[in-house]
Amino acid sequence: MWRLYAEYGREQVPQAILGVFGTLTSRSVGLISPFVLGLAIDAVFLSQREYTLPFLPQAWVPSTPTGLLWLSIAVIAGATVVGAVFQWLANWGWNSFAQHVQHALRVDTYDTMQLLDMGFFDEKQTGEMLSILNNDVNQLETFLNEGISSALRIGVMVLGIGVIMFAINWPLALVALLPVPVLAVFTYLFVKKIQPKYAAVRASVGALNSRLENNIGGIQVIKTENAESYEVERVEGASQHYFDTNWDAITTRIVFFPGLGVITGIGFAITFAVGGFWVLNGAPAGLPGTLTAGQFVTFMVYTQQFIWPMAQFGQIINMYQRAKASSARIFGLMGETAKHMESSDAPDLTVTEGTVEYDDVSFGYAKADEPVLHNVSLTATRGQLLGVVGPTGAGKSTLLKLLVRMYDTDEGTIRIDGTDIHEVNTQSLRRAIGYVSQDPFLFYGTVKENIAYGTFDATDEEIVDAAKRAEAHEFIMNLPDGYDTMVGERGVKLSGGQRQRISIARTILKNPPLLILDEATSHVDTETEALIQRSLNRLAAEKTTFAIAHRLSTIRHADEIIVLDDGRVVERGTHRDLIDNDDLYANLWRVQAGEIDDLPPEFIERAIRRRAEVAETEFAEADAGWEN
């Protein structure tokens, strides 16, 4: 919390000062009315006291009772207006403070987060990070807004009212304060009892949300499997659980305020009794001090004003605890140290020849696990197409993610034109590489924006030209608003092949010297594939290109094909070489040519074993996803 105020509050000092000043003034001004009320009763109606007000010159005080009454009315009305104005200023100050701190904190947290390496994102749940960026940051709002101002208000009340009450009549002040320790204990017990109940409510909200989210996502399966009644029961179960936990918290909560009322009421009654008899019969048994009827009224109103802020104390503690937990999560995320941070002071990469070398590279996602890549070495030069093939899970995508430094190699080096990619700044590295993935992601925005994503200064002509070369122009022109059609989540639904062509246009526009095509034509029909392949070939002509392919026909003409199996290079050569070699590649080729009967039995056995392993990991992933 200290860090929150020191780092983010520092920029907002003027608002905080306004907030503090406004709160102190409005609360102090609020003390005036009960005091004047008591004074007016004594001086105007009972003529028991002389009419004197601090800071008011005696010459301004009228001599007639009517004049005094008007003065009292004017002071009370004036104090109310002034109090309201200062309260408005205080609210303005604190709200502005809270909003600015929240805004700066959210942007900073996001900025820190997006620079973390992919390993971090693999481990964290999307929902968890969203909840930090959104819920936790918003959670701070209440405390930033009200925390300090409530604490100040209590301070003013305790000090101001306490001092005035003790000055008027200290024995009665002690009586009036009797409920305070009782209230403190009562509030403490309440907070202790309700907190685990609130935690249970939050957990059951989470469970209900996941259930609903999962069901909406899986609506198609629910329908095809006729599982509607089964799901209604499950939703009902989750909703009932939420009902039960919430009801449990409600039954506790609704006891609190009446309970406070009873305690303060008893205290009020005792003060009223002692004070009332004091005014009526004079000081009770040997107690010092005097009490007029007017002072008694002042006293009773202050007692009311005093007790409620004390009861709020528990809420402030509660607010503080929640804000502290959120801050801890936010600063925890800010404190994550990435495996590598993008260091901008490293020199830029300059690609001259476009030669890429993998030198004995090994890599594993987690240190404890078996590495995913073992001692891979390869070289590709400008104008070359290097095909990467192998069964699912062999490590093809991983191999190329290392080139764009989504992850860092554990052993060995990757060099571009002789420079180790770890010694250049990551931005310049990524600028030099175009990446067309199997599952292209489109942002919510126009087609045009999606094509120009990364090349933000592209002109309309360049965008259209890139789309034409990616064979995307025709279908874009058929969209409702052409290049200005909104796509991505919540936008017009595009087919996999259309998304892929937009992503290819994006890469064509970027025109990088190195190219990674990760199953670039996986989502398109055979005809479109031929067209895209043509434009990709044109694009790849003067570049160093890596192409991952399941459909081996797409890399048949590659200059070299690397065959990966279990993270090891098991074969390499041209299509012809590999067919002659008659091993894994030749068998994969037979599968695709439909010559299943010619496959050796060992290949079939391996395939069955491999599918079993893949199914196992997919099952484990699905399981882990569900639990979260």
Which residue ranges make up the site for ligand ADP (CB under 6 A)?
A: 122, 365, 372, 390, 392-398, 617
CB of 327 to ligand ADP, least distance (A): 30
Which residue number, 401 or 430, has a Cβ lying nearer to ligand ADP?
401
CB of 591 to ligand ADP, least distance (A): 16
CB of 109 to ligand ADP, least distance (A): 23
Furthest CA-CA distance within the chain:
121
CB of 401 to ligand ADP, least distance (A): 7
Residue 354 CA to residue 433 CA, distance in Å, equals 10
The answer to whether the Cα torsion of 612, 613, 614, 617 is positive or negative is positive
- Within 155-265, strands assigned E span none
Identity of residue 62: P
CB of 400 to ligand ADP, least distance (A): 8
- Which among 192, 194, 319 is positioned nearest to 254, based on CA atoms? 194
Within 10 angstroms of residue 45's Cβ, the number of other Cβ atoms is 13
Helix (H/G/I), strand (E/B), else coil: 563: strand
Within 10 angstroms of residue 216's Cβ, the number of other Cβ atoms is 9
CA angle 390, 393, 398 (to 5 degrees): 90
Please, what's the b/e burial string for 53-88 (b: 16 or more CB within 10 A of its CB; e: otherwise)? beeeeeeeeeeeeeebeebbeebbeebeeebeebbe
Which residue number, 417 or 566, has a Cβ lying nearer to ligand ADP?
566
Which residue number, 352 or 392, has a Cβ lying nearer to ligand ADP?
392
Residue 137 CA to residue 528 CA, distance in Å, equals 47
Residue 534 CA to residue 514 CA, distance in Å, equals 18
CB of 122 to ligand ADP, least distance (A): 4
CB of 621 to ligand ADP, least distance (A): 8
Q: Tokens 């930090």 label which residue?
A: 132
CB of 350 to ligand ADP, least distance (A): 29
Which residue number, 153 or 401, has a Cβ lying nearer to ligand ADP?
401
φ/ψ of residue 618, rounded to 5: -65, -40
- Burial class, 574, CB count within 10 angstroms (exposed 0-12 / middle 13-18 / buried 19+): middle
Tell me which H or E stretch contains 572.
Answer: strand 568-573
609: Cα separation from own chain's centroid: 41
- Which among 36, 119, 133, 116 is positioned nearest to 75, based on CA atoms? 36
Which residue number, 295 or 437, has a Cβ lying nearer to ligand ADP?
437
Instruction: State the virtual CA torsion across 56, 62, 64, 65 in degrees, nearest 10.
Output: -30
Which residue number, 381 or 617, has a Cβ lying nearer to ligand ADP?
617
Contact 111, 30 (CB under 8 A): no
Within 10 angstroms of residue 263's Cβ, the number of other Cβ atoms is 20
Tell me which H or E stretch contains 379.
Answer: strand 373-380
DSSP class per residue in 513-567: SEEEEESTTTTS-HHHHHHHHHHHHHHHTTSEEEEE-SSGGGGTT-SEEEEEETT
Which residue number, 275 or 393, has a Cβ lying nearer to ligand ADP?
393
CB of 157 to ligand ADP, least distance (A): 56
Which residue number, 117 or 146, has a Cβ lying nearer to ligand ADP?
117
Which residue number, 310 or 373, has a Cβ lying nearer to ligand ADP?
373
Q: How far is the CA of 149 from the CAs of 89, 262, 307, 356, in angstroms?
A: 12, 27, 17, 61
Residue 503 CA to residue 508 CA, distance in Å, equals 9
CB of 439 to ligand ADP, least distance (A): 12
CB of 363 to ligand ADP, least distance (A): 9
Which residue number, 209 or 617, has a Cβ lying nearer to ligand ADP?
617
Which residue number, 431 or 610, has a Cβ lying nearer to ligand ADP?
610
Within 10 angstroms of residue 1's Cβ, the number of other Cβ atoms is 15
CB of 409 to ligand ADP, least distance (A): 14
CB of 386 to ligand ADP, least distance (A): 15
| DSSP assigned state of 492 | B
Which residue number, 122 or 595, has a Cβ lying nearer to ligand ADP?
122
| DSSP assigned state of 354 | -
Which residue number, 123 or 598, has a Cβ lying nearer to ligand ADP?
123
